[in-house]
Amino acid sequence: MIQYNDFTELPSRFQRFISIKLNDGEAIVASWQPSSKEYQHNQYLIQLMGLFFSLIAYVIFWGYGAPPSGLERLSAENLNWIVCFFCACFMIGGLYFMLMPFWAWSWARRTLYLFTNQRALLIGAKGNFYGCTFEAFEGHALKKAKSTRYKGRANIIFRVHQYEEDGQKYSEDVGFFGIDNPDLAIKLLNYLKGKVASSDLCESNPG
């Protein structure tokens, strides 16, 4: 028997949103938030790249942008503004890359995976600062869902999102990633798949 949890056990920032999205008679069975590590692919390499960009900006500024006499004669009149512009671009890019752990934490904090007694729900972060997307998986989407295990965690893929950018075609998996209780997650997925199969059977055999 699956025991249902009240939505008020969710992080407070999600409670009102989820309460509006739930259908009549729908209750939350289990919920997870991903670890920030799920968004920190190659983070050390990216942070080193950010440090490298920042160092380049520092060297170019003092080598070509600032006046030879140094800080005591630093003013708007004797700065090389073109060089300063490029240095600022490198510095901003470097800081962005070095803050990757913070962006990953922000994405993980604004992402929530839920199984209810009717469907699977995904609240996904959108953008580095704010904004979220909401998607519900039921019926055919549940039947097509695939689960995998990796390093003691479960990934559940509901669909593949395909898009085109700058003339190049890309695809990305959409689903739940890095669930730290794989047995429960897969059990709930199979439970919902069973409900969908039973519903389809009843529709095909109304008598």
Q: List pLDDT tens digits, range 98-122.
A: 777 777 777 778 889 999 999 999 9
pLDDT digit string (tens) for 169-190? 888 888 998 888 899 999 999 9
**Does 196 score more than 70 pLDDT?**
yes
Instruction: Write out the E strands in the chain.
Output: 28-32, 112-116, 120-125, 132-137, 146-150, 153-165, 168-179
- For residue 79, the model assigns a pLDDT of 58
**Cβ 148 vs Cβ 158: under 8 Å:** no
- Provide the 10 A C-beta neighbour count for residue 203: 8
- For residue 72, the model assigns a pLDDT of 46
- Tell me 76's DSSP state: S
Placement of tokens 């249902």 in the chain: 4
- pLDDT tier at 1 (50, 70, 90 boundaries)? very low
User: With 90 as the cut, is the pLDDT of residue 137 above it?
Assistant: yes
What is the average pLDDT value for the chain, to the nearest integer? Answer: 77
Q: Which one has a higher pLDDT value, 183 or 93? A: 183
Q: Which of 185, 136, 137, 189 is nearest to 21 (CA)?
A: 136
Of 67 and 151, the one with more pLDDT: 151
d(CA 52, CA 8): 45
pLDDT of residue 7: 60
151 or 157: which leads in pLDDT:
157
Checking if the pLDDT of 77 tops 70, the result is: no
Distance CA 156, CA 192 (A): 13
Phi, psi of 2 (to 5 degrees): -85, 130
In sequence order, the 6+-apart residues with CB closer than 8 A to the CB of 172 are 160, 161
Query: Taking the complete model, does pTM exceed 0.75, yes or no?
Result: no
